[in-house]
Chain A
């Protein structure tokens, strides 16, 4: 056994993040750790990487007991970690980013040529292609991910920890990454993969450890399990089957005609986009982020103004109107970025939850605090939002819990039209199930929903129709029946369907 972690326990005051976790890793193995938010995955990895000290428990590397006081110790023992958010210097070249910390050269002189050569050899050896001279900021997320892995390999890692590595990648890049992981494991490298995407885990991992509430609920072999079993181990109960009842769509609740927005570099951000959403229909918008989806939503909700075209919500022309007026015409909006648009960090949970409802829950200008408290605490229960109290400052909510609060707030507006942008970003499986269930319930009640998501599985699961955006245009439309991940992936990458 290459690595053995025995009964690792980590306590923060009263709270146990890890409770007696056993974990092992063989040489050349890909071992995935899955679990919901707060299950203790990241804590365990931080302990292994020397960023945290365990309250009790031992770590053995090749049979010898070790303890890491800092990541430097871990790196020297051959453990490398690629963090969820890339830690690269964007304005430096790939080669410079990879050799940092152990630069070739004599004395104070940095040998750039040698660095490039070293990186080229590294790429050759591990079969991962990058251009060492390219500036990092000009490369795609998939390339940056490879740079992170090469950096870890350059440091001589044999055990590589990947924390949610596919979050920002396109489907094609995900495939390439999984392929690279398989290749490297054949060459003897071992991987610990933290993820919540079960299909990726099942594709690449040899074994899967499932955590729930800081404890191991199962260690399973890839060949002896399926997504169903893993999610049951993660959630601790059976997941409900979502069923999308057939529904006859009603009137148009959103009609966008020839919407255009000029970009800064002459290329249009939105180029004559037309689409509509009917009552009782979920229309999914797929696309690699940065192809105009964010701008489309901002124009529809009045947060920015178009250069051309018309927008009608619930039959009313709202082109050029303020967000307030559009909301009053019948829009609710789960925003893409919860911290920029969705919350006031310094306000209380109750205040953040109140937005949009505050004009309703009043009597001659005075807020009905009792009703508001009842409303928000109802959401806290229904979506099991973990918060100290309603007076807790919003900034102390975890991302997933804040997302649940925002979703509850916007669902509750009771409007005929709803924008759901990345509605389950960063939430765990249990909450995802609740949110998906609620969206479908709204649909049955006759709400028209425009769903924008970078998760193709989510789009395919919920949508009646799927639109694909590519370079500011609608590149294609597929019905729920026609849509598959392959077809969508092709359209998203700028291809066409024969």
Chain B
């Protein structure tokens, strides 16, 4: 295989998936009675048209990137952590609580709140890992179900004991954070905050860790062939706890930066309806769990969402066009999974001493 095909081949499937996604979107636009070019133009403007919309997209991408990186890390180690939503919600909740109730200077409270988010998300994730290694509870199922526990518990807290009673609205939400603990904006007047820098840094760090470090090597081998890793002396237990903590911690951080940088309070359902967690997981899948790829995919998916909002604002075509494109993407990515799975099975059959 020459260098050119080696570089382009992994890109072929995602690009093809995106093209087919856009085509499917075009059909939906026709059905909705819109003009394809105009709709896509509005979509582009909503996502990237001008400084405000561009930074808005990046801001929306921030939690998605962090959550996606967490998922990618777990996937690389071979652990199917689908609990990003719960981990994010717990991270967000704890960040909000620390932000509200910890005394001290604003910058210190902000850092403590971020850390609280990491620890809360990480521990929630480790719990599922522990259930798996200790009691054999399937990780995929436990992480998935723990999402409901986390979301409903956080919802209860802000609906009753911690409910903001100062305002007139009857919404289930916590009190507002003091603006001294807010994450600073990168450009004044724009939605983009420091969390985005954290997300980019995290992507770079994970990239280097996976590629260059002993731990990263063990993670990759464990994910590639767990028996080979065991044989070579990789200890699955500690690796699992570590990988699950890091994975959940990143999701928790994603929730925390969203609270401290954008929403400034925990609002019941706000993180779930924005679909940050599942979009993040999708970004990781779209990028084949490559950290830099996850970063790019997360921004792309965020752009689809902000672009969809632009479409809804300025045309008759509904917001859901963006969702349709996303859905088709998922289909085509899962097609890639099936394809590589089939390929592997074929290879297994022809094992042995050929020639």
Contacts and interface: CB of A to CB of B under 8 A. Distances in A.
Tell me if chain B binds chain A. yes
Nearest to B214: A362
Query: Among A167, A333, A341, A369, which residue has the most Cβ atoms of chain B within 10 A?
Result: A341
Nearest to B226: A344
B355 A398 contact: yes
A262 interface: no
B217 A335 contact: no
B217 A351 contact: yes
B213 interface: yes
Contacts of A345: 224-225, 344, 347
B221 A341 contact: no
A356 B227 contact: no
Contacts of B1: 388
Contacts of A400: 353
Contacts of A339: 351
B354 interface: yes
Contacts of A342: 228, 231
Given A343-B225, A343-B228, A399 B351 contact: yes
A490 interface: no
B225 A324 contact: no
Interface stretch (A37-45, A50-58, A141-149): A37-45
A39 B267 CA distance: 70
Contacts of A399: 351-354
A51 to B, nearest CB: 13
A342 B218 CA distance: 15
B233 interface: yes
B225 A358 contact: no
A316 B214 CA distance: 27
Interface in A324-380: 324, 327-328, 333, 335, 339-347, 351-352, 354-356, 358-359, 362, 365-367, 369
Interface string B327-355: 00000000000000000100100011111
A8 to B, nearest CB: 16
B234 interface: yes
Interface residues of B, number: 27
Contact of B233 (A42, A323, A340, A343): A323
B227 A367 contact: no
Contacts of B232: 323, 327, 355-356
Contact of B214 (A84, A167, A343, A358): A358
B215 interface: yes
Say which size band chain A's interface belongs to: 35 or more
B230 interface: yes
A305 B228 CA distance: 17
Interface string A25-44: 00000000000011111110
A176 interface: no
Given A345-B224, A358-B218, A398 B235 contact: no
Contacts of B217: 351, 354, 358, 367
A362 B212 CA distance: 10
A479 B217 CA distance: 44
A366 B208 CA distance: 10
Contacts of A433: none
B220 interface: yes
B212 A366 contact: yes
Interface in B194-230: 212-215, 217-218, 220-221, 224-225, 227-230
A301 B354 CA distance: 29
Majority-rule SS of A interface residues: loop
Interface in A39-93: 39-43, 84-85
A323 B231 contact: yes
Most chain A beta carbons < 10 A, residue from B212, B228, B234, B235: B228
Contacts of A38: 355
Contacts of B212: 366-367, 369
A43 B355 contact: yes
B16 to A, nearest CB: 21
Nearest to B224: A344
A356 B221 CA distance: 11
Contacts of B231: 301, 303, 323, 333, 335, 341-342, 355
B300 to A, nearest CB: 25
Interface in B225-248: 225, 227-235
Nearest to B209: A365
Nearest to B348: A339
B354 A398 contact: yes
A344 B354 contact: no
A324 B234 contact: yes
Contact of B235 (A37, A324, A346, A366): A324
Nearest to B228: A344
B272 to A, nearest CB: 34
A395 interface: yes
B224 A365 contact: no
A428 B160 CA distance: 74
A173 interface: no
A426 interface: yes
Contacts of B344: 345
B355 A323 contact: no
A340 B220 contact: no
A347 B220 contact: yes
Given A301-B231, A367-B217, A344 B353 contact: no
A412 to B, nearest CB: 13
A345 B212 CA distance: 20
A164 interface: yes
Nearest to A355: B232
B220 A351 contact: yes
B225 A344 contact: yes
Contacts of A323: 230-233
A362 B213 CA distance: 8
B214 A367 contact: yes
A322 interface: yes
A333 B213 CA distance: 24
A400 B351 CA distance: 11
Contacts of A301: 231
A128 B233 CA distance: 49
A356 B233 CA distance: 7
Interface string A392-406: 000100111000000
Given A322-B233, A343-B225, A362-B213, 13 more contacts: A85-B352, A327-B232, A333-B231, A344-B228, A347-B220, A352-B228, A356-B233, A358-B217, A365-B214, A366-B212, A367-B212, A388-B1, A398-B354
Interface of B: 1, 212-215, 217-218, 220-221, 224-225, 227-235, 344, 347, 351-355
30 contacts: A38-B355, A41-B355, A42-B354, A85-B352, A164-B353, A167-B353, A323-B231, A323-B232, A324-B233, A324-B234, A327-B233, A335-B231, A341-B227, A341-B231, A344-B220, A344-B221, A344-B225, A344-B228, A344-B229, A345-B347, A346-B224, A347-B224, A351-B220, A356-B232, A359-B214, A365-B214, A366-B214, A367-B217, A398-B354, A400-B353
6 shortest interchain CB distances as A-B pairs: A324-B233, A426-B353, A355-B232, A344-B224, A344-B225, A341-B231
